[in-house]
Structure 1
Amino acid sequence: MKLRQWQAECIDLALARYRSGNSHFLALATPGAGKTLMASELADQLLKNNLVDLVVCFSPSTIVAMDFSESLHLRTQERFDGLIGAKGRSLTYQNLQHLDTSFWHLFERYRVFVIFDEVHHCAGSNIDNANAWGEKIILNIQEKALFTLALTGTPWRSDLAPIVLSNYMHSSNKISCDYIYGLSEAISADVCRIPQIIAIDNNNISVVGKEETKTFDSFSSLLSQSITPYQDIIENEVVIKYVISSAHKKLSRIRLINPDAAGLVVASSVKHANQISQLMKVSLNEASIVVTYKEKCPANIIQTFKAAKSKWIISVGMISEGTNIPRLQVCCHLSNIKTEMHFRQILGRILRMTGSKNQEAVFYMPAEPKLLEYAYRVKQDVPFEVDVVKFEKIECEVQGQALDKKLNSVTFDTTRSVTPKIGINYIFDQLECMDDVIKQSNYSNKNEIFEEHFLTHSYEQTINIYGRFKQESIALGLSELGE
């Protein structure tokens, strides 16, 4: 397979740095650009030129570790299963906690090349400020690996902790990368698709409390009053139906050209995922695959979907950063996690360019203020010459005339009164990250997520959504949005 220009440039630069006496190399490449292939080719060149003996790779999830192992095998024709005769092993960051002294002795006996995929999961410039994974890297790898390659598509942490093995510029406190390949460059080079980000809003929302009823003309105005949590919006049946219906129409049109195109819905919890799946079946007569950490073999479910022709997969924490399903072209962001890192990583799932005729990448989300802010930043990353700045506002009914009466009765009770302890437990039950990370007690951003999570508040009210929905396209690269 021929390398893309950025991949070849990055490899040449990394090799030059290693030969000049530098052990660590950090590459920033936008999600969907092909970091796995680049890293595998670099490993192959190091092995073939007898510069290293073994290759070890750490990734944020089991499915990504499997993809890395396969990519390394295809590129080097060597095994990476850790058994006798293998040239290395592909592991998850969670495995760092369980590796014994016999494994770490390999770094003393052999020349080891270590790849860190999505390295921002590992924090620490020293032992004092490191998280559990960063501490293991500092103690066992930082000074003992011959070479390291750190990869990231989002070079920051929401808790502002330093990323392990990284240098920072003192003036701006921004991370100093050895190679940068952004979304603008990737779009210009036809490496990534141009994202179309569609913000969904509603113009008539009422909140019925004990003493009064308040009305709002947008999700932003509703959330600005802090009287209802974002979770109530993404769990509202009317909102879910509208989002998945819009996305389903778009996917159906794409599939007329690309028959294997697929859609992803990112849910906030297992219960939420099942709710969406049921609504998709009842409202659209469409089956969907649900994959969460509760499944026995989620990685196998994802691998099967990757090669299948089925339309929709609904995920809770299983399809995020690094998960490679190129046929995904439509995504519905219905997660309650509102960090820019998570937003960018989810968007990246539909940006991988393929050989198909249609290369649309359409991302649906509620018009929540933080998500809108991130979307406008993505728009700024899209190259000017692509002529992507176009806005459309489409007024449309929530449902057909036959369902108008039913629509006016759509309500739900949001009475909640819980303790913070229960809230924390619930958060880790539904975090949008890989199955093992959900169980990590040192999740890097738990405080921020906890603070904005709906279980940290108490509400006693009912929300009605009576109005019309509005779609605003934020980062369009095509001439028409279409319905």
Structure 2
Amino acid sequence: MLRPWQRRALDALADHPHPDFLAVATPGAGKTTFALVAMIRELSRQPGPAVVVAPTAHLKIQWADAAARLGLHLDPSWSAGQPFSPDMHGIVTTYQQVASAAVDLAQRVAHGVVVLDEVHHAGDDRAWGDSVATAFQFTRRRIALSGTPFRSDTQAIPFVRYDFDEAQPDIEYGYGDALADGVVRPVYFPRIDGEMEWVSADGSHHAASFGDALDRTLTAQRLRTALSLHGEWLPSVLVRANSALMKVRRTHPDAGGLVIAIDTEHASGIVRLLRERCGVRAVVATSDDPDASDRIANFSRSADPWIVAVRMVSEGVDIPRLRVGVWATTTATELFFRQAVGRLVRVTPDTRGARSMMFLPDDPRLRAHSMGISEARRHLLKRKEEQEEDLLADPLEAMMVEEGEQISLFQAVAATASDNGSSEEPEWFTADPFPAADQEGVPLTLFPPPTPGGKVPQVGEDGLPIQAMHVTKATLRKRNADLVRLLVRRANMDHKAVNLELNRLSGIKRISDATADQLEQRLEAGEKWLTRL
């Protein structure tokens, strides 16, 4: 079923005269479904390669799984230099991978369709922006997505239309709109004040609460002091947040909590504090951990209470059971804030009417960001019809630490939390305040995508695949690898020789390029070989 805003966006895309289309929709609204349905419709009208560019490796799997549920098979394991598999409709890649394969991609995806997820990442690095422009210059349709309106203060992002430095969306669906439709949860922001003491890099001693006016450098140092593992502000807030989560779990037993940490060492310390102060265990997901994607996926399916993340659970990651968050990072930009809060807004059928909560340091930048979101929420709950304008971005948001500051000389001395009266404690469940129309949706009718070459996936009664093709192929590759190890022992040959012989018998050059049918043929050849030994 499509939500009404998704149908409006598809209609706008169908009428759009240009190849570039920017959809800005609040986290949790369903950008992924919109983009995949749009891609399927484009391919139904004119076959061609399909490409999704995601910000992180973890999101490649998430995109591939979501596409497979709609009958579109995208390969998340593709890497530069490989051909596109003929039994897949296309690939999911990352901006970093595009930067290393731009010219090659430009030839492969000419006249195809590309989705640029969280397209503002194409502006993170000039090389990324240039490579995106090169790789997709010939694609016939470029669909760009973002979870929040964004600016381009350094360089223009390819395929995005600007009015001065503001990106101009072709369809926009904000948090207030999604609240009114019952698509997302309301989020409340308990803001915790405190008394912080620290020694700056120049040796000067400072003491301040979050209510004291400070310059940019001291504002950043005050926040770092509050978030220090050695003070009492952070442990106190973790205890409050865990108490809130335990209360939620009385009626939502698998509800989860998210702590956003500064770095790997900080995350480890938070895990220790949760264990020592609250008696609970936490999962850790950090960007430098190769197993982080698996940890996030396992956490999303479990009933574990807490996950502590560093640059991993910020945008696109879908864990609908998250209900409580703790802001424990020194990053304070509005874009990151809205993306992180978006992890707490996703609605599920069994938690309709539920609320979420993000515990914040009462830092002026975070206060401004939270008030912008809270205003949209209050307008809905009070049934006001007029929408007030968003708060202006805080001029301090762009920098946490002055360039060249000697971090090693900074020292947090003490930090204690206090209640400043600004905490919002919601009723965690309410009589359903939202209209049901959007939850019911409208019929979703998909034009069938072109059938990829090779093995046709098994489908269920609903006509959709039982298993994603990329999962089927990963399973077949593993079975092939296990068989090779057995043949190495039985045939007294090395791995290279066994692999070359199996490739010859099944008519493939490389196992990474093989279709599902070819992988099965390779298994059959190996099993016959094994019976002769």
Stretch of structure 1 that moved more, 234-243 or 34-43: 234-243
TM-score (norm 2): 0.70
Residue-by-residue CA offset, 1:98-120 (whole Å, 9 max, x unaligned): 22644331134xx3100000001
Name the counterpart of 2:468: none
Alpha-carbon spacing, 1:248–1:158, altered in 2? closer, same or farther (3 Å): farther
Q: In the alignment, is the contact (CA less than 8 A) between 1:231 and 1:454 conserved in 2?
A: no
Query: Aligned match of 2:346 in 349, 352, 358?
Result: 352
Alpha-carbon spacing, 1:100–1:31, altered in 2? closer, same or farther (3 Å): closer
Asked if 1:179 is matched to 2:181, the reply is: no
Tell me the amino acid that sits aligned with residue 44 of structure 1.
I
Name the counterpart of 1:273: 267
Alpha-carbon spacing, 1:316–1:63, altered in 2? closer, same or farther (3 Å): same
Name the counterpart of 1:120: 120
Distance (whole Å) between structure 1 residues aligned to residue 339 and residue 7 of structure 2: 24
Asked if 1:15 is matched to 2:25, the reply is: no
Tell me the amino acid that sits aligned with residue 39 of structure 1.
A
Query: Aligned match of 2:224 in 231, 243, 247?
Result: 231
Offset at residue 40 of structure 1 (A): 1.1
Offset at residue 174 of structure 1 (A): 2.5
Task: Kindly report which structure 2 residues correspond to 1:278-427, keeping only aligned pairs within 5 A, or say none.
Answer: 278-357=272-351, 359-382=354-377, 384-387=379-382
Query: Aligned match of 2:248 in 224, 240, 254?
Result: 254
Name the counterpart of 2:180: 188
Percent sequence identity over aligned pairs: 25
Alpha-carbon spacing, 1:107–1:235, altered in 2? closer, same or farther (3 Å): same
Distance (whole Å) between structure 2 residues aligned to residue 166 and residue 300 of structure 1: 33
SS in 2 for 1:105: helix
Q: In the alignment, is the contact (CA less than 8 A) between 1:201 and 1:471 conserved in 2?
A: no
Tell me the amino acid that sits aligned with residue 26 of structure 2.
T
Residue-by-residue CA offset, 1:373-419 (whole Å, 9 max, x unaligned): 11112223336241299xxxxxxxxxxxxxxxxxxxxxxxxxxxxxx
Alpha-carbon spacing, 1:305–1:459, altered in 2? closer, same or farther (3 Å): closer
Name the counterpart of 2:452: none
Alpha-carbon spacing, 1:460–1:69, altered in 2? closer, same or farther (3 Å): closer
Alpha-carbon spacing, 1:476–1:132, altered in 2? closer, same or farther (3 Å): farther
Name the counterpart of 2:423: 473
Distance (whole Å) between structure 2 residues aligned to residue 131 and residue 87 of structure 1: 30
The count of residues paired between Structure 1 and Structure 2 equals 407
Q: In the alignment, is the contact (CA less than 8 A) between 1:199 and 1:472 conserved in 2?
A: yes
Stretch of structure 1 that moved more, 380-389 or 61-70: 380-389
Distance (whole Å) between structure 2 residues aligned to residue 384 and residue 453 of structure 1: 43
Q: In the alignment, is the contact (CA less than 8 A) between 2:260 and 2:309 conserved in 1?
A: yes
Offset at residue 206 of structure 1 (A): 4.8
Alpha-carbon spacing, 1:184–1:355, altered in 2? closer, same or farther (3 Å): same
Tell me the amino acid that sits aligned with residue 316 of structure 1.
V
Name the counterpart of 2:519: none
Name the counterpart of 1:137: 132
Distance (whole Å) between structure 1 residues aligned to residue 11 and residue 427 of structure 2: 32
Distance (whole Å) between structure 2 residues aligned to residue 246 and residue 464 of structure 1: 16
Tell me the amino acid that sits aligned with residue 22 of structure 2.
L
Distance (whole Å) between structure 2 residues aligned to residue 44 and residue 211 of structure 1: 61
Alpha-carbon spacing, 1:133–1:479, altered in 2? closer, same or farther (3 Å): same
SS in 2 for 1:274: helix
Distance (whole Å) between structure 1 residues aligned to residue 232 and residue 369 of structure 2: 25
Distance (whole Å) between structure 1 residues aligned to residue 403 and residue 63 of structure 2: 34
Offset at residue 272 of structure 1 (A): 0.5
Name the counterpart of 1:42: 38
Residue-by-residue CA offset, 1:162-201 (whole Å, 9 max, x unaligned): 332111224xx42211001001100000001111011111
Q: In the alignment, is the contact (CA less than 8 A) between 1:158 and 1:341 conserved in 2?
A: no
TM-score (norm 1): 0.77
SS in 1 for 2:354: coil
Tell me the amino acid that sits aligned with residue 12 of structure 2.
L
Distance (whole Å) between structure 2 residues aligned to residue 447 and residue 340 of structure 1: 9
Name the counterpart of 1:200: 192
Query: Aligned match of 2:212 in 208, 215, 221?
Result: 221
SS in 2 for 1:451: coil
Q: In the alignment, is the contact (CA less than 8 A) between 1:382 and 1:388 conserved in 2?
A: no
Distance (whole Å) between structure 2 residues aligned to residue 137 and residue 266 of structure 1: 30
Alpha-carbon spacing, 1:78–1:295, altered in 2? closer, same or farther (3 Å): closer
Query: Aligned match of 2:85 in 71, 83, 86?
Result: 83
Distance (whole Å) between structure 2 residues aligned to residue 238 and residue 314 of structure 1: 19
Alpha-carbon spacing, 1:159–1:80, altered in 2? closer, same or farther (3 Å): same
Distance (whole Å) between structure 1 residues aligned to residue 152 and residue 399 of structure 2: 8
Offset at residue 333 of structure 1 (A): 0.7
Q: In the alignment, is the contact (CA less than 8 A) between 1:6 and 1:181 conserved in 2?
A: yes
Distance (whole Å) between structure 2 residues aligned to residue 285 and residue 176 of structure 1: 48
Offset at residue 271 of structure 1 (A): 0.7
Q: In the alignment, is the contact (CA less than 8 A) between 1:375 and 1:474 conserved in 2?
A: no
Offset at residue 9 of structure 1 (A): 1.1
Alpha-carbon spacing, 1:195–1:160, altered in 2? closer, same or farther (3 Å): farther
Alpha-carbon spacing, 1:475–1:99, altered in 2? closer, same or farther (3 Å): farther
5+ residue gaps, structure 2: 77-83, 385-396, 431-533
Tell me the amino acid that sits aligned with residue 4 of structure 1.
R
Distance (whole Å) between structure 1 residues aligned to residue 291 and residue 424 of structure 2: 37
Name the counterpart of 2:481: none
Whichever of the two has the greater Rg, that structure is: 2
Q: In the alignment, is the contact (CA less than 8 A) between 2:98 and 2:135 conserved in 1?
A: no
Name the counterpart of 1:441: none
RMSD of aligned residue pairs (Cα, Å): 3.1
Residue-by-residue CA offset, 1:83-136 (whole Å, 9 max, x unaligned): 22210001111111222644331134xx31000000011139xxxxx7111101
Name the counterpart of 1:66: 61
Distance (whole Å) between structure 1 residues aligned to residue 198 and residue 168 of structure 2: 47
Offset at residue 349 of structure 1 (A): 0.6
Tell me the amino acid that sits aligned with residue 99 of structure 2.
Q
Alpha-carbon spacing, 1:474–1:176, altered in 2? closer, same or farther (3 Å): farther
Alpha-carbon spacing, 1:388–1:240, altered in 2? closer, same or farther (3 Å): farther
SS in 2 for 1:57: strand
Distance (whole Å) between structure 2 residues aligned to residue 266 and residue 341 of structure 1: 15
